[in-house]
Structure 1
């Protein structure tokens, strides 16, 4: 069980820590957090305890270092920054306290293992590695949407709970990293999950030197010139597209995509292992026979993707339309059954059979849900939330308080996918920061009346997707907590608190996109 601050245990040769300010079992910090069991120390000199919040009666992890003061500034600043972002793939941060002789951060307790521990038994299968990469990318997209950087992404801070939830812990704020280096680190996480080796993305893993002590992680396999061996060269069974994606993220000469674009691509690839899509499907490539000489980058090696993930997505959409039209005899509704375009790279020129993959789902209808309004004058414009134009959207009236001035419990946007679908994620683009909202799901439609809306909200609140966003500092909310074994048709984006705007409080929903199959 790992609850380490930076995910790295102290090496056996680590010096003894000071005893002044050392915690003891049974001690209660800040009159609230009881220390129960010392779990481990990390290589940065921090102690990790299992504790209990005696007020809320819930388990917590307490990451403590002593002395506090200046030496704990980075730890506390990172915790404060992380506490502002609520996402199902981020470890929740509850408190950060500096008592001078010691400082500590109180965060969510996660029963499970770090990715570093999980891979001790051997590399992961490609499907599971993709799922973990998707969760990390989604977490980073939420962090980056606020303008912040995580700066500490590696196998020790990626944690997998006993119930399968993947969470990212322990952000840093030392200013040494960028959003781009965060995204490149996802390539390192994928590489490690697929091979059991760390490729040392831009810098060695913090707190671990290859080959030394219990914190060590094996260095990546390299050739005589120091070039990194691709995952497919290290082990069999890694799909070519996942190998390409991983190596592109690690290539300093290829500018990585933004974290939200990468999250969308990994969500498209993150399909249930028993569906076996990973053997045949993947990012589509430029394969048109133009008669021109191949680019130097393509000729130099096996990886031909120099256009970035954003370009891949654009080509993928075109390929999807062509493939669907061909397979379905010109059906003009391509988004209802996305398929991968045939590959022209099969031996002998034979096309690889098309396979269904996760992708954007069509929203067939939307309407505004407003159960507490008598005038119902805010119902127009719901069609603008799925018109592929983020400059246009639906917005609330202006209220005198963020909670709708106690006039209503909330209001939201209901969407209909037209049929039962497997949903991977939902992204909502908003007009402003500071909103609080959640995503709900239901099985029944109701009449567009106050009574119908009230019945709909009552039913849908029984099925929340992921965790709610509270005063979200970004303009994008991404919900990933869908049950892979369940299909969904009706979803409700439910707004409970409005951001300030123009002397009052209001919010616009600019665009809602759904990924699934």
Structure 2
């Protein structure tokens, strides 16, 4: 970030043709938000079109806040994913801040919404923006998705944050709400009410509870899961805690829609070959019955999370962020570790299913990653913690923050399904690193949150090797949660690695 010009009052004279930061010639103003202006411009030395976000042209923000915006936005330079325009330059002119990005060819969100895209095409377009936000959040970044004028739909149908500038008060939750606003707009041509209301948009109608009306109530042709994703993102406490959750819901909704109606092409110019599919399968059958089925799929989608998509793009992001933040290059290139693989119960080998004799170790029949606050850590490897092979292991994501819980999320753990209900006397947990703190909890079925579980053992710090943890239960349990409340260190990285977990009906010697 550099300061290129002496202080002067430039904000009032910004018109097409003005040169800012000594190299960008303004062409067309593409929108504005509080304290921000969005311009299409020409980079004079190269002749390329660029997108400029001008920060505080009126000079009303303290200079420290402007610098904070530029500093936070500079951290997005390493993100090379489809859903965010590549940041080329971040400067301070002395009068205001400038963020220059690659120009996204296509149309504005307002222009594309005016073409009435199909719900399936809208859901497909959102994947790029969701993946960008989820990847950024995992790296501790906030994108600043808070206004419709920031979003463009590329010529190949991807929703893109075209005018990034992360404001001082921007949060991860605000990004998710912004994603909900973009999806809501694509579905029903309304923007969630905010003050001030963006120019050119009609505010969404509100329910008696004060939340925007469900899109499916406005247009019955919108698949239930797609509608619920949009509404849930705009409603606190909906259970949608990450981009992975949203991605899973949208894919479930698209998969459930029947290809009955032609003409569902991708969003945005130019018009491309239509994709199959149109409306939800419950459109012309018994509404109550199908809605119950859809709600079941909603719960499944939230637990399943997102399947692998844009793997190459996400891998590039991982390499770039690691270079930027000084971490090793393999942090984010493993799709399992990004939490973009569906969360499923991983079966243990057949020997683990055999009933254990009294006093003998019980190997859990299955294991799944439990992460109620966000995408699961390395879900595809959960079964390696109960496969009887000490050479294999399940590991958490590698975090840049040495103490990510509860600041980043409440915690993460392994949900273990016992082969039969048992009165537990102890667990053994084999780990490679040190300093990880766990609680042992029990659950009835599949818990939705930590509050749905019962604590059996208070916080215990694990040491390298086998850790024996006495357990006292007053009733038989069939589901056990090993809940990580504090992350330790393995080979110098902020990661926990569990190679084996066994349960005992009587404490081992």
What TM-score results when the alignment is normalised by the length of structure 2? 0.48
What TM-score results when the alignment is normalised by the length of structure 1? 0.48
